[in-house]
C-alpha cells in the first residue's frame, strides 16, 4: 500500500485492504464522468466527519468511488420518471435559493455516508481480527462480539492510526484489571501517544487527518452536532517536562554546593595554597605538593562565581560570589518549602491520625512534581556538563583535604582501641576545621551545616529516583524535618 509520510499500522491497513478486495467494493473504480462531483462531496465530508472509522474507509480510493457511485445511482433511482435527473448524468443544476454548491447533488454527501455505514460492520470485524493476529492478544470468540460493538463509541477522539490501539483498550476493559497493562504493553509507546496518519493518495479520498482546529466546520445537517457523543477529556500530566538526567545532575550539584561552597571545602583548599605561598605550611609529600599546584593551575576549573551562578539559577540561592547580572530563581525556594511541608505532613499526620489522608498524599505528589518539573526547566545542557566537571573537581578537593590532615595541625583524634575498629575516617573534616575553624562565615556551626548538607543530599537523591507511586522513607522524612522543622499542632484526640 503506497502512502505519503508514515504508513498506517499494519492491522488498520490490512483491514482496509480486505474491504477493498471483497464484495461489494471489489472491482469498483472511479467514474471519470463524475469527477466534477468529487471536490464538493470530499470537501463536505472532510468538514463533517469526526468518526475515525468512517474517515478510514473513505480514505481508500476504491471504497470512496464505490460509495459515490452507489449514492448517485440511488439518487437517480428515486428521482421521478421522466425528470432531467433520471435521464441525465450529473452535473445537476443548482435549485433556485439552494445553498448547495454549484455542480453538486443535494444530499449526496449524506447518501455516501449511509452507503459507507453498510460496510462498517465488516471493517470492524476485520480490524479486530487483524489486530488480534498482529498483537497476539488471544481474543476469544466470546470477547469478539462485545469488542466490535464497543468500538464505534470508543474510537471517538482518536485518529485513524490509533484504531488498533483502541481495539486493545476495549479488550483490556473487558478483561480483568491485572491484564490491562500486559495488553497495552504490546502496542509499545503507541499506547500512550497519538500516532496520527497521513492521507492516502487518490483523487477521490477523504483525508485521514482531522481538519485543523482553526478551520471552521460547516453544519449542513442541524442534527450533526446533537448526535455527537460525549467522551471523557483525557489529558495526560506534563510528565514529558521532567528530565531524569537533569534531576540527577541537580541531585549531584546540591551536596557539592553545600559541602564545597557553603561549608567551605573549596575555600579550605584555597587557604592551604595561601599558607603554602606564605611559607606557613610545610608539606613533605610530593604527591600532595603536586596536587596543590595542579589545583591552582588546572583543577579549579569551575570557579566560585560559576558555582554561585549554578546555585542561583537552579536552587534560587543568593551566594556572595554571585555575579551581579545573575538573578536567583524566584520560584525554587518557595517550591522547596512547600515540598518539605508536604513531606512533613505525610510522615507525621498528627497525634489523631494513623495514616496520611488521601489529600495529604495528593499534596505530596503535587509538590514533588512541581519541584521536579522546575528543576528540569532551570537546568540546561551546559549546566549538566558543568556539574559533571564540578563533580570531578570536588573529588580532587576532598582528596587534597584528606591528605592535608597531618600537615595542618588538625585536632588530635587518637585511634580507636577496640579490636577490629577502623583507624581511618573522614579526615577532610579535620582539615576543614583546622583551616577554617569550627564555625562558618555566617557564624553557624560546622556540624549543623554538615547535617543540613546530608539532608539536602537525601531529599534530592529521592527526587531524582522516585516514580509516581514512590513514598518517602524514614531517611527522607528525617531530612525534610531537619531542613524545615514541622509546625507542631497542640491538639487532643477525642476519646
Please report, rounded to a whole number, the percentage of residues in the chain having pLDDT higher than 70: 74
Given a cut of 70, is residue 400 above it in pLDDT?
A: yes
pLDDT in tens, 46-71: 767 778 888 888 888 888 888 888 88
Q: Which residues contact 323 (CB under 8 A, 6 or more apart)?
A: 305, 308, 309
* 3-state SS track over 36-75: HHHHHHHHHHHHHCCCHHHHHHHCCHHHHHHHHHHHHHHH
In this prediction, residue 387 carries a pLDDT of 95
Query: Does 205 have pLDDT greater than 60?
Result: no
Q: What is the dihedral of CA 348, 352, 358, 362, to 10 degrees?
A: -30
Instruction: State the chain's mean pLDDT as an integer.
Output: 79
- Residue 79, in any domain of the structure: yes
Are 59 and 180 in a shared domain? Answer: yes
Give the mean pLDDT of 218-237.
68
What pLDDT, on the 0 to 100 scale, is given for residue 93? 36
130 and 274 belong to one structural domain? no
Residue 344 forms part of a structural domain: yes
Cell of 218: 460547516
126 has pLDDT over 70: yes
pLDDT at 338: 95
pLDDT at residue 171, as a whole number = 78
Omega into 399 within 30° of 0, i.e. cis? no
Q: With b meaning 16 or more CB within 10 Å and e meaning fewer, what string describes 359-372? A: ebeebbbebbbbbb
Helix (H) or strand (E) holding 460: helix 446-465
Residue 141 CB contacts under 8 Å (≥ 6 apart), including other chains: none
149 and 293 co-located in one domain: no
**60 close to 16: Cβ distance less than 8 angstroms:** yes
How many Cα atoms within 13 Å fall on the side-chain side of residue 419? 0
φ, ψ for residue 439, nearest 5 deg: -125, 155
Torsional class of 5: left (φ above 0), alpha (ψ -120 to 50), beta (otherwise): left
Q: Supply the pLDDT for residue 481.
A: 94
Q: Is 445 helix (H, G, I), strand (E, B) or coil?
A: strand
Which has more pLDDT, 423 or 306? 306
Q: Is 196 left (phi over 0), alpha (psi -120 to 50) or beta?
A: left
Same domain, 163 and 262: no
State residue 160's pLDDT score: 86
* Residue 110, pLDDT score: 83
Asked if residue 199 is part of any domain, the answer here is no
Q: Of 30, 32, 15, 37, which is closest to residue 66 (Cα–Cα)?
A: 30
DSSP state of 121: H
Domain of residue 22 covers 10-94+101-191
Who wins on pLDDT, 8 or 322? 322
d(Cα 383, Cα 375) in Å, to the nearest integer? 11
| Model confidence at 491: pLDDT above 90 | no
Mark whether 157 and 258 lie in a shared domain: no
Same domain, 179 and 298: no
Contact between 155 and 163 under an 8 Å Cβ cutoff? The reply is yes
CA distance 471 to 211: 44
pLDDT per residue as tens digits for the range 254-264 = 999 999 999 99
Residue 411 has pLDDT above 60, yes or no: no
Same domain, 263 and 167: no
Model confidence pLDDT, tens digit, residues 75-123: 777 766 555 444 444 443 333 333 334 344 557 888 888 888 899 999 9
SS3 of 26, please? coil
**Is 50 within the bounds of a domain?**
yes
Rounded to an integer, what distance in angstroms lies between the CA atom of residue 150 and that of residue 131? 15
Residue 354 lies in a domain: yes
Say what the pLDDT of residue 489 is.
56
Which residues pair with residue 439 across a beta bridge? 445
- Whether residue 147 is contained in a domain is answered as yes
Residue 57 near residue 90, CB atoms below 8 Å = no
**Residue 303 located in a structural domain:** yes
290-343 confidence digits (pLDDT tens): 999 899 778 788 999 999 999 999 999 999 999 999 999 999 999 999 999 999
Range picked from 47-61, 133-147, 277-291, 417-431 for highest mean pLDDT: 277-291
Q: What is the CA radius of gyration of the chain?
A: 36
Per-residue confidence (pLDDT) for residue 450, from 0 to 100: 92
Whose CA is closest to 124, among 1, 23, 12? 12
Domain identity same for 328 and 470: yes
d(CA 195, CA 159): 7
- The answer, yes or no, to whether residue 38 has pLDDT greater than 60, is yes
Average pLDDT rounded to a whole number, residues 400-405 = 92
Give me the DSSP letters along 237-297. -SGGG--HHHHHHHHHHHHHHIIIIII-HHHHHHHHHHHHHTT------HHHHHHHHHIII
Three-class SS string for 282-346? CCCCHHHHHHHHHHHHHHCCCCHHHHHHHHHHHHCCCCCCCCCCCCCCCCHHHHHHHHHHHHHHH
Check residue 248 and give its pLDDT: 95
For the cut 70, the answer to whether the pLDDT of residue 130 exceeds it is yes
Say what the pLDDT of residue 197 is.
40
pLDDT in tens, 366-387: 999 999 999 999 999 999 999 9
Same domain, 183 and 253: no
**131 shares its domain with 42:** yes
Q: Which residue has the cell 556538563?
A: 385
412 pLDDT band, cuts 50/70/90, is low
Residues 143 and 280 in one domain: no
268 and 182 in a common domain: no
Domain membership of residue 117 (yes or no) is: yes
Total domains in the chain come to: 2
Amino acid at each position: 500500500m503506497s502512502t505519503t509520510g508514515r504508513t498506517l499500522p499494519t492491522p488498520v491497513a490490512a483491514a482496509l485492504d480486505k474491504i477493498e478486495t471483497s464484495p461489494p467494493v471489489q472491482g469498483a473504480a472511479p467514474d471519470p464522468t463524475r469527477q466534477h462531483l468529487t471536490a464538493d462531496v470530499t470537501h463536505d465530508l472532510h468538514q463533517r466527519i469526526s468518526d475515525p472509522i468512517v474517515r478510514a474507509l473513505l480514505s481508500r480510493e476504491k471504497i470512496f468511488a464505490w460509495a459515490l457511485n452507489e449514492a448517485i445511482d440511488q439518487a437517480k433511482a428515486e428521482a421521478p420518471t421522466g425528470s432531467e435527473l433520471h435521464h441525465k448524468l450529473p452535473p445537476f443544476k443548482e435549485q433556485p435559493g439552494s445553498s448547495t454548491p454549484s455542480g453538486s447533488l443535494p444530499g449526496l454527501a449524506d447518501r455516501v455516508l449511509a452507503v459507507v455505514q453498510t460496510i462498517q460492520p465488516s471493517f470492524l470485524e476485520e480490524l479486530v481480527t487483524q489486530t488480534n493476529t498482529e498483537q497476539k492478544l488471544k481474543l476469544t470468540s466470546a470477547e469478539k462480539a462485545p469488542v466490535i460493538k464497543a468500538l464505534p463509541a470508543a474510537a471517538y477522539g482518536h485518529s485513524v492510526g490509533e484504531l488498533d490501539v483502541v481495539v486493545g483498550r476495549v479488550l483490556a476493559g473487558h478483561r480483568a484489571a491485572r491484564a490491562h497493562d500486559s495488553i497495552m504493553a504490546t502496542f509499545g509507546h503507541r499506547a500512550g501517544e497519538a500516532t496520527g496518519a497521513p492521507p492516502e493518495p487518490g483523487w477521490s479520498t477523504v483525508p485521514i487527518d482531522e481538519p485543523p482546529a482553526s478551520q471552521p466546520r460547516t453544519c449542513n445537517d442541524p442534527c450533526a452536532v446533537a448526535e455527537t457523543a460525549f467522551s471523557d477529556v483525557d489529558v495526560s500530566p506534563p510528565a514529558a517536562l521532567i528530565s531524569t538526567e537533569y534531576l540527577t545532575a541537580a541531585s549531584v550539584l546540591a551536596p557539592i554546593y553545600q559541602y564545597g561552597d557553603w561549608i567551605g571545602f573549596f575555600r579550605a583548599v584555597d587557604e592551604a595554597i595561601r599558607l603554602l605561598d606564605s611559607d606557613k605550611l610545610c608539606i613533605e609529600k610530593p604527591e600532595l605538593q603536586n596536587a596543590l599546584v595542579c589545583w591552582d593551575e588546572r583543577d579549579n576549573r569551575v570557579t566560585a562565581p560559576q558555582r554561585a551562578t549554578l546555585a542561583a539559577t537552579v536552587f534560587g540561592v543568593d551566594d556572595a560570589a554571585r555575579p551581579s547580572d545573575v538573578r536567583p530563581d524566584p520560584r525554587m525556594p518557595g517550591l522547596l518549602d512547600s515540598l518539605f511541608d508536604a513531606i512533613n505532613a505525610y510522615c507525621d499526620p498528627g497525634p489523631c491520625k494513623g495514616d496520611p489522608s488521601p489529600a495529604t498524599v495528593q499534596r505530596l505528589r503535587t509538590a514533588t512534581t512541581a519541584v521536579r518539573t522546575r528543576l528540569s526547566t532551570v537546568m540546561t545542557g551546559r549546566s549538566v556538563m558543568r556539574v559533571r566537571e564540578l563533580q570531578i573537581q570536588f573529588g580532587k578537593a576532598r582528596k587534597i583535604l584528606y591528605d592535608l590532615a597531618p600537615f595542618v595541625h588538625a585536632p588530635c583524634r587518637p585511634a580507636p582501641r577496640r579490636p577490629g575498629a577502623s583507624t581511618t575516617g573522614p579526615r577532610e573534616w579535620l582539615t576543614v576545621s583546622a583551616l577554617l575553624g569550627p564555625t562558618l562565615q555566617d557564624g553557624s556551626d560546622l556540624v549543623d551545616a554538615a547535617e543540613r548538607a546530608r539532608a539536602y543530599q537525601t531529599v534530592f537523591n529521592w527526587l531524582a529516583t522516585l516514580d509516581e507511586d514512590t513514598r518517602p522513607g524514614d531517611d527522607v522524612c528525617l531530612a525534610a524535618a531537619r531542613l524545615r522543622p514541622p509546625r507542631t499542632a497542640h491538639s487532643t484526640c477525642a476519646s
